[in-house]
Chain A
Amino acid sequence: MELRKSYFADVRQNGLNEIGQPRPRLDSPGHVTGKTAYFADRNFPGMLHLKMVRSPHHHARIRSIDTSEAEKHPGVVKVLTAKDVPHNVYTILILIQIGPEDETVLADGKVRWKGEAVVAVLAETERAAQEAAAKVKVDYEVLPAVFDMEEALKPGAPLVNEYHGQNYYLYDSGECRKVRFGDVEAGFGQADHILEQSYQSSPIEHAPTETTGCVVAPEGNDRFTCYTNTQAMFFTLDNASIILQMPGSKLHFVGGTVGGGFGGKVDVIVEPIAILGAKLTGRPVCFIYSREEEMQISSPRAAEKVVIKDGVMMDGRIVARKVTGYTDAGAYSRHSPYGAQKGAAHYPGPYTIPNVWIDTYCVYTNRTPSSAMRGFGVTIGDFALEVQMDKLARLIGMDPLEFRFVNAYRDGDMKAHRQPTEGAALIECMQEASRAANWPVAEKYMAMSSYTKGA
């Protein structure tokens, strides 16, 4: 790595002792010698293991659940169903007033994706819990499922989630989050060329080294200590408090050393049910995802579809950009309405375009609920935007790097969401990339600056 100190030297504070120094990490020796303690290193006498009975169907009505054989299985201490969960229907972003509550801790009457948690089994050993889980009998009536976002948005599509009432998230702005800036149709009208293209991604997994999980210990004072690898301590505690209808003062969360998150550990999934198990049995409980659960049950990055329509002039200026983004939330909201909204704020990318129209939709389908992941709301948008930029440059016969200089945002430029640009540095990154990659651009671009519009 090289620090290029020549850029922005006039605005950088110097004379610091600790900041800017490559100090060795104080936690590295523990990590590389195996001495660092993670949540799963806690082991309490009498600890129970929790395993989930999961839906084998994408969409089904539950006619009945029979746990009698499972309860008789040797080593089984407790079997939990929806009726045991005090506030079973929840949504995590209710803490910042983004509702409605739309997801069940344990399925109640219906399952909406293959892998959904239906019954929790607590047993003396992991093996006993697994074997007993296989003895739980659930009678399902399979329902038509929808997997494709376009299909889900068509009239007459199977309804994925009754708590929403339609297969998209309803924002205060309607069926999508909207950004309107300038007059996009007038922009298309004056353009030399118009290019409309569609981009698509598949879900991906965070794949942390350490799978999601927690260990819960009941304390002597009627409190519960939850050792967890959550990425958000109070966010998880407060949601657990709602789900369990238990005052937050009864809960003590300990964490902070995590074997990789990438956004995969901000859903509140394992902690509430494990605490409930500890409460109802009076014994410590651990609930740790297997690698298979981490891969297929924990939320992935949402699949997205992005449609971009641009109007461009032969001199390289983009005069209009219309973006329609679709985020595949799967069966439940989790963080996806937030992600789709973040996308609306991100488009049209780091470029100054006078006429912009953005619609971003959060769509429900019968698949594993997606949620937060490194860059969500932006990552797939950037893939779409930057491939589109390459296509536009080639369409008008311009060098793709020079084409970006023509449109790059600079300090003071008004963004589509009506905030003036501050602290821009796109131009300088591209200038340095031009040098580093030996990709020459015209001298006028190398003379540009993010500070001002200039000549």
Chain B
Amino acid sequence: MAIRRGRGVAAINYPTGMNLGGDPTQALVHSTPTGNFMVTLSSVDLGQGMKQIMAQICAETIGVPTDRVIIDTADTDTGPHCMGTFASRGTHRAGNAVIQAAKEARQVMLEVAAEELEVNASDLETDGQGNILVKGAPQKSISIFDVALSAHFKRGRSISGRGMFLIPRSYPEKETGAMKPSTCYAHACTVAEVEVDDETGEVTVLTVKNVFEIGRALNPKMVEQQLVGGSWMGISHALYETTEPYYPNRDYGGTDFNQYLMPGPGDLAKTEIIVLERPSADGPFGAKGPGEMCANPQIPAVANAVFDAVGVRIDTLPITPERIMRALKAQAAG
């Protein structure tokens, strides 16, 4: 009887957005009288930080700091339509809609600035700090604060924009399954190292090394929180979680966090996250949706590592000590 060590690898891809398309999101952007920008949406922030990312996308597109952007979302009386937050679609779909709306607002902003500076709008650029400058002559400039005041009180312009993103619906061909299920795909490769106690069947995940390719890390700290959390959830899925431990038997289902097992802080593996960025052709600044896929590769990587450690295959999730012990007994029985 011994503690045995093994490692396993898995590589995956994952589609961004609702399968087969047909999932619209719209956005509206307008400036306040003093040059702050409101983004109006009906998308939902589940805690992953959707509002923050939309603020950064709008700020980048208009050319202002992120703290000049306010997100007003998820009120059906004011927010334009969003299909919802699921299918790794929030950043990709809503982000594209925000870019389109922000571009239209930026154009009006530059036109007002051009009138104030008596130049062509096409000769203007933003400095990202809240000012609009004449290209090549940066001493000639106007603040966005003053541009917004002018638009509201002098020029009678609405610095605003409308944005819409829709991937058309694809209908699978009945006999061949020919279809366009997705736009862009995120990728991952995970290597997991485990120890398996062949006396108790207990698995300890020592390390997980995850490489994720996500198009573009729009906010690297937020990407990190999502990828680390996803990696933990993958391990949990592989080894712990089920509402029906003896599926298809319906008995013994957990009803609270004492009975429904998940790894606690002491069970967390040493987690390494490496991110690659191959911008997608249709994502906001190249971003893809990493939200779902980051919890997937750990499951087979852990399963393969368990085999590498003790030489038995557990092809039923979750990989519990009971299943490992039964497999080891069967193996010993020859």
Chain A positions within 8 Å of B, measured between CB atoms, are 1-5, 7-8, 11-13, 16-27, 31, 58, 96, 114, 147-149, 172-174, 177-181, 197-205, 207, 230-235, 237, 251-263, 265-266, 291-292, 295-296, 300, 303, 328, 338, 341-342, 344-346, 349-350, 358, 365, 367-368, 372, 374-375, 377-380, 382-387, 389-391, 400-401, 404, 408-409, 416-419, 422-426, 428-430, 432-433, 436-437, 439, 450
- Which residues from A are CB-within-8-Å of B8? 390, 400
Q: List chain A residues, Cβ under 8 A from B107.
A: none
Q: Note all chain B residues with C-beta closer than 8 A to A260.
A: 46-47
Tell me the complex Cα distance, A368–B242, Å: 13
With both chains docked as a complex, state the minimum distance between the C-beta of A386 and any C-beta of chain B, in angstroms. Answer: 3
Distance of B20 from chain A, by nearest CB (Å)? 8
Query: A4 to chain B: which residues have CB within 8 Å?
Result: 274-276
Please indicate which of the listed interface residues A18, A27, A374, A450 has the most CB atoms of chain B within 10 Å of its own CB. Answer: A18
**B235 interface hit (Cβ, 8 Å):** no
Asked, given contacts A13-B285, A27-B45, A379-B295, whether A417 binds B253 with beta carbons under 8 Å apart, the answer is: no
Known: A12-B286, A114-B250. A202 touches B77 (CB 8 A): no
- The answer to the question of B318 belonging to the interface, with a C-beta cut-off of 8 Å to chain A, is yes
Bound form: Cα–Cα A20–B57 in Å: 10
Q: Which of A199, A404, A409, A437 contacts B316 (CB 8 A)?
A: A199
CB distance from A211 to the nearest CB of B (A): 11
Contact B217 A20 (CB under 8 A): yes
Q: Select from chain A the residue with minimum beta-carbon distance to B182.
A: A345
**Mask of B17-33 contacts with A, CB within 8 angstroms, 1/0:** 00110100000000000
- Do the beta carbons of B243 and A296 come within 8 Å of each other? yes
Chain B 265-291 interface residues, beta-carbon cutoff 8 Å to A: 272-281, 285-286, 291
- The reply to whether A181 and B176 contact each other, CB–CB distance below 8 Å, is yes
Q: Determine the chain B residues whose CB is within 8 A of the CB of A390 once the complex forms.
A: 8-9, 300, 303-304, 307
Interface residue tally for chain B (C-beta within 8 Å): 124
Q: Which residue of B lies closest to A426 (CB)?
A: B187
| Residue of chain A at shortest CB distance from B41 | A256
Q: Which A residues lie within 8 Å of B262 (CB)?
A: 207
CB of A96 within 8 A of CB of B57, answer no
Contact of B177 among A177, A231, A380 (CB under 8 A): A177
A177-B52 contact, Cβ under 8 Å, with A382-B300, A433-B190:
no
| Contact yes or no, B219 A423, CB < 8 A | no
Instruction: Write the chain A residue with the least CB distance to B52.
Output: A25
Chain B nearest CB, measured from A362 CB (Å): 13
Q: Are A203 and B184 in contact (CB under 8 A)?
A: no
> Could you say which residues of chain B place their CB within 8 Å of the CB of A365?
248
Contact A7–B278 (Cβ < 8 Å): yes
> Scoring B residues 297 to 334 as 1 if CB is less than 8 Å from chain A, else 0, what string do you get?
10111011001000001011110000000000000000
- A346 near B60: Cβ-Cβ < 8 Å: no
**CB closest chain-B residue, reference A359:** B177
Provide the residues of chain B in CB contact with A12, threshold 8 Å.
216, 277, 279, 286
Q: B274: which of A1, A181, A382 is its contact (CB, 8 Å)?
A: A1
| Chain B residues whose C-beta falls within 8 Å of the C-beta of A3 in the assembled complex | 217, 220, 275, 277
Instruction: Say which one of B83-91, B136-144, B160-168, B197-205 lies at the interface with A.
Output: B83-91
C-alpha spacing A203/B186, complex, angstroms:
25
Q: Are B300 and A25 in contact (CB under 8 A)?
A: no
A172 to B179, CA, bound (A): 14
Give 22 CB contacts A-B under 8 Å: A3-B275, A4-B274, A12-B279, A13-B286, A19-B285, A27-B45, A27-B49, A147-B248, A148-B248, A179-B177, A197-B315, A203-B244, A261-B47, A261-B86, A300-B243, A303-B247, A344-B172, A345-B172, A379-B299, A423-B281, A425-B187, A430-B189
Min CB distance B167 to A, Å, is: 13
Establish whether residues A428 and B213, one from each chain, have CB atoms under 8 Å apart when the complex forms. Answer: yes
**Chain B minimum-CB-distance residue to A298:** B243
Instruction: Report the Cα distance A345→B22, complex, angstroms.
Output: 16
| Structural contact, B285 and A367, CB atoms closer than 8 A | no
Beta-carbon contact of A234 and B304 below 8 Å:
no
Name the one of B44, B237, B286 contacting A379, with C-beta atoms under 8 angstroms: B237
Question: Could you tell me the distance between the alpha carbons of A128 and B169 in the complex, rounded to whole angstroms?
Answer: 48
The answer to whether B316 touches A200 (Cβ under 8 A) is yes
Interface centre among B52, B57, B274 (most CB of A within 10 A): B274
Q: Which residues of B contact A389 (CB under 8 A)?
A: 10-11
- Closest-by-CB residue of B relative to A114 is B250
Closest Cβ of chain A to B120, distance in Å, is: 23
Q: A437 to B305, alpha carbons, bound, how many Å?
A: 13
Task: List, in ascending order, chain B residues with CB within 8 A of A346's CB.
Answer: 15, 181
Across the A-B interface, the 7 shortest Cβ-Cβ residue pairs: A256-B74, A232-B84, A179-B177, A386-B300, A345-B181, A17-B128, A437-B191
Of the residues A1, A24, A423, contact of B220 by C-beta under 8 Å: A1
CA distance in complex: A439, B286 (Å)? 30
Asked if B93 is at the interface of the complex by the 8 Å CB criterion, the answer is no
Q: Shortest CB–CB separation between residue B328 and chain A, in angstroms?
A: 18
B106 within 8 A of A: no
B176, B177, B213, B291, most chain A CB atoms within 10 A: B177
Verify B211–A432 contact, CB threshold 8 A: yes
Q: Which of A24, A26, A202, A253 contacts B317 (CB 8 A)?
A: A202
Known: A18-B60, A200-B316, A379-B295. 12 other contacts (CB 8 A): A1-B227, A2-B273, A22-B221, A25-B49, A25-B52, A147-B248, A149-B248, A173-B177, A177-B172, A230-B84, A232-B85, A382-B12
CA distance A424 to B218 in the complex (A): 19
Q: Are A199 and B85 in contact (CB under 8 A)?
A: no
CA A377 to CA B18, docked complex, whole Å: 12
Indicate if the CB atoms of A234 and B81 lie closer than 8 Å.
Answer: yes
B181/A234 in contact, CB under 8 A: no
Give the residues in chain B near A253, CB-CB below 8 Å: 74-76
A8 close to B46 (CB less than 8 A): no
Instruction: Tell me, yes or no, whether B42 is within 8 Å of chain A by CB.
Output: yes
Judge whether B36 is part of the interface by a CB distance below 8 angstroms: no
Q: Which residues of B contact A173 (CB under 8 A)?
A: 172, 174-175, 177
Which of A2, A23, A203, A385 has the most chain B CB atoms inside 10 A of its CB? A23
A25 to B75 alpha-carbon distance, docked (Å): 21
Contacts of B196 in A (CB 8 A): none
Q: How far apart are the CA atoms of A117 and B10 in the complex, in Å? A: 41
Q: Is B191 within 8 A of A439, CB to CB?
A: yes
A365–B66 CA distance with the chains assembled, in angstroms:
50
Collect the chain B residues with CB atoms within 8 Å of residue A147's CB: 248-250
B220 to chain A, nearest CB (A): 5
Judging by beta carbons under 8 Å apart, are B76 and A252 in contact?
A: yes
> Do B11 and A180 touch across chains, with their CB atoms under 8 A apart?
no
Out of B84, B181, B278, name the residue touching A8 (CB < 8 Å): B278
